[in-house]
């Protein structure tokens, strides 16, 4: 997270962006936000540039909000757009019917971890799929 300070900001966090270095070749950029009253003053660009410097030459991905997709694609160097999307839900009680796929038969389940063995199995499965361990991100 980047923190910018200035007289007007009085030490407040004005914006943030996470640049997660998943391994030597891969990074993921997300959680990019600038407080609305401070947008259009170059703060976001400074934060973005700092994160991109940290990411370096790694292959990087982003998961933008729909309203910002064109900015990432056309102005920020992320021209590849996948055919799938993520569904994010911030709730304690999840209606699994929201995740129903109409075109394919898919069974989405909420995984409740009962012990560390289950978590370790998920981490191992994820490593098999990704080609490297992301256990430190769990």
What confidence tens digit (pLDDT) does each residue in 84-98 have? 766 666 667 766 666
Domain ranges of the chain: 15-83+93-130
pLDDT band at 69 (very low <50, low <70, confident <90, very high): confident
> Which residues are paired to 6 by β-bridges?
none
Closest by CA position to 57, among listed 87, 88, 26: 26
pLDDT band at 132 (very low <50, low <70, confident <90, very high): confident
What's residue 123's pLDDT? 85
What's the mean per-residue pLDDT of the chain? 78
Of 8-22, 68-82, 105-119, the range with the highest mean pLDDT is: 68-82
pLDDT in tens, 7-44: 455 677 888 888 888 889 999 998 888 888 889 999 88
Count CA atoms within 13 Å of residue 112 on its CB side.
3
Does the pTM exceed 0.75?
A: no
What's residue 116's pLDDT? 81
What's residue 86's pLDDT? 67
Asked if 32 and 78 count as a contact pair (C-beta separation under 8 A), the reply is no
Rounded to 5°, angle at Cα 76 from 73 and 82: 30
CATH architecture under which domain 15-83+93-130 falls: 3-Layer(aba) Sandwich (3.40)
What's residue 56's pLDDT? 94
């Amino acid at each position: 997270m980047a923190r910018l300070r200035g007289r007007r900001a009085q030490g407040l966090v004005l914006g943030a962006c996470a640049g997660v270095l998943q391994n030597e070749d891969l990074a993921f950029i997300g959680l990019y936000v600038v407080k609305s009253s401070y947008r259009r003053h170059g703060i976001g660009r400074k934060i973005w540039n700092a994160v991109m410097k940290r990411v370096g030459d790694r292959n990087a991905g982003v998961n933008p909000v729909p309203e910002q997709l064109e900015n990432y694609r056309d102005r920020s160097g992320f021209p590849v757009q996948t055919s799938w999307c993520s569904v994010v839900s911030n709730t304690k009680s999840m209606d699994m019917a929201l995740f129903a796929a109409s075109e394919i038969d898919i069974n989405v389940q909420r995984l409740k971890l009962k012990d560390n063995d289950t978590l370790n199995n998920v981490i191992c499965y994820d490593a098999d799929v990704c080609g490297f361990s992301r256990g430190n991100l769990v």
